[in-house]
């Protein structure tokens, strides 16, 4: 199983301490559904693209064969077809007739295959255009929903400030990155070129060095600490207003269950060359872009 999928399934099904979303997070659910749809359409588009490229390659090969056959037929024509049949020996005549019959059947089959390949290529290109349009429609829908989410968050931030309530949402756009290092994978659909499939990543994957500091992105309490397959030590911090941050790929850990943390507190060190981070509101994963202070 893909390591990101296994991590998501672990958090989703095992972390029973993460409270189910209420009606106020419906938009977050819908955005995640659109992201999942985009991942599926990405896969279908990539498959259609691969199919077209394979058809084009086979078509070029068939075209070469047809050109070779045309040259061969032209040679036979120059040899004079009649000479093949103008023989007195019945056995040789029968042999030449079979040769001509087989040549004709072979060439006819070649032309039929070529015609079929042309039709398949035309259909493949049409499918490609269809998936490209579908993907663009999904992207447009996603942009509209994310704009709506930003507007909704902005309004709620003002309301929280007026009511003097606590929420991680008040830190949106000002949260530090959990660690330094280049971002290898971003929130959204990804394609595994080697194994030819697409998958959804619900966080950020950092390229790191071992023993690199990992920091809490906001104030909260450590509510989970355990080993996860592939990732090793993993921490989950619960923040005000049912927000959660997930830190996977830790070696040494500085915090224990129940510990209170503040923004930028060192909670542990990276174990190896990969570190994974997620943000969630209730059980809904949310895109860290726009939440972290540094531009992603």
Whether the CB-CB separation of 263 and 217 falls below 8 Å is answered with yes
Helix (H, G, I), strand (E, B) or coil at 51: helix
Whether the CB-CB separation of 247 and 213 falls below 8 Å is answered with no
User: Quick one: pLDDT at residue 59?
Assistant: 74
User: Quick one: pLDDT at residue 270?
Assistant: 94
State the Cα–Cα distance between residues 193 and 5, nearest whole angstrom.
17
User: Quick one: pLDDT at residue 9?
Assistant: 46
Residues making up the chain, counted from first to last = 296
Helix (H, G, I), strand (E, B) or coil at 164: coil
The domain defined by 20-165 folds into: Helix Hairpins (1.10.287)
State the Cα–Cα distance between residues 12 and 8, nearest whole angstrom.
6
Helix (H, G, I), strand (E, B) or coil at 296: coil
C-alpha separations of 155 from 96, 160, 162, 179 in Å: 88, 9, 11, 30
Q: What ranges do the domains of the chain cover?
A: 20-165, 171-291
User: Quick one: pLDDT at residue 46?
Assistant: 80
Span 171-291: which CATH code? 2.70.70.10
State the Cα–Cα distance between residues 250 and 270, nearest whole angstrom.
4
Tens of pLDDT along the chain (296 residues) come to 455 544 554 554 445 556 655 555 678 888 888 888 887 788 788 878 888 888 788 777 777 776 666 666 565 555 554 555 555 566 665 665 565 556 556 666 666 776 777 787 788 888 888 888 888 988 899 889 889 988 999 999 999 999 999 999 999 999 999 999 899 999 987 776 665 566 778 899 999 999 999 999 999 999 999 888 888 899 999 999 999 999 999 988 889 999 999 999 999 999 989 999 999 998 889 999 889 987 55
Buried b (16+ CB within 10 A) or exposed e, 214-250: bbbbbbbebbbbeebeebbbbbbbbbbebbbbbbbbb
User: Quick one: pLDDT at residue 20?
Assistant: 58
User: Quick one: pLDDT at residue 263?
Assistant: 96
User: Quick one: pLDDT at residue 201?
Assistant: 86
């Amino acid at each position: 199983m893909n390591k990101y999928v296994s991590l998501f399934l672990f958090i989703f099904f095992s972390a029973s301490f993460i409270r189910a979303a209420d009606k106020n997070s419906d938009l977050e659910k819908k955005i995640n559904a659109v992201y999942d749809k985009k991942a599926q359409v990405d896969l279908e588009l990539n498959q259609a693209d691969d199919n077209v490229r394979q058809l084009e390659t086979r078509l070029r090969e068939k075209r070469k064969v047809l050109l070779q056959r045309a040259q061969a037929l032209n040679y036979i024509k120059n040899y004079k077809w009649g000479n093949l049949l103008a023989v007195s020996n019945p056995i040789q005549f029968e042999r030449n007739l079979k040769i001509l019959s087989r040549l004709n059947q072979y060439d006819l089959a070649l032309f039929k295959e070529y015609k079929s390949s042309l039709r398949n290529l035309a259909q493949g290109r049409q499918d490609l255009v269809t998936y490209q349009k579908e993907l663009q429609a999904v992207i447009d829908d996603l942009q509209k929903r994310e704009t709506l989410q930003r507007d909704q968050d902005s309004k709620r931030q003002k309301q929280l400030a007026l009511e003097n309530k606590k929420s991680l949402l008040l830190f949106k756009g000002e949260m530090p990155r959990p660690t330094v290092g280049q971002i290898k994978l971003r929130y959204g659909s990804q394609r595994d070129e080697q194994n030819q499939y697409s998958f959804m990543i619900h966080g950020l994957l950092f390229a790191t060095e071992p023993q690199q500091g990992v920091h809490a992105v906001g104030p909260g309490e450590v509510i989970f600490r355990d080993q996860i397959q592939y990732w090793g030590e993993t921490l989950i911090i619960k923040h005000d207003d049912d927000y959660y941050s997930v830190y996977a790929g830790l070696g040494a850990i500085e915090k224990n269950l129940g510990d209170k943390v503040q923004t930028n507190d060192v909670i542990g060190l990276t174990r190896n060359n990969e570190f994974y981070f997620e943000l969630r509101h209730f059980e809904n994963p949310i895109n860290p872009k726009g939440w972290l202070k540094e531009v992603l």
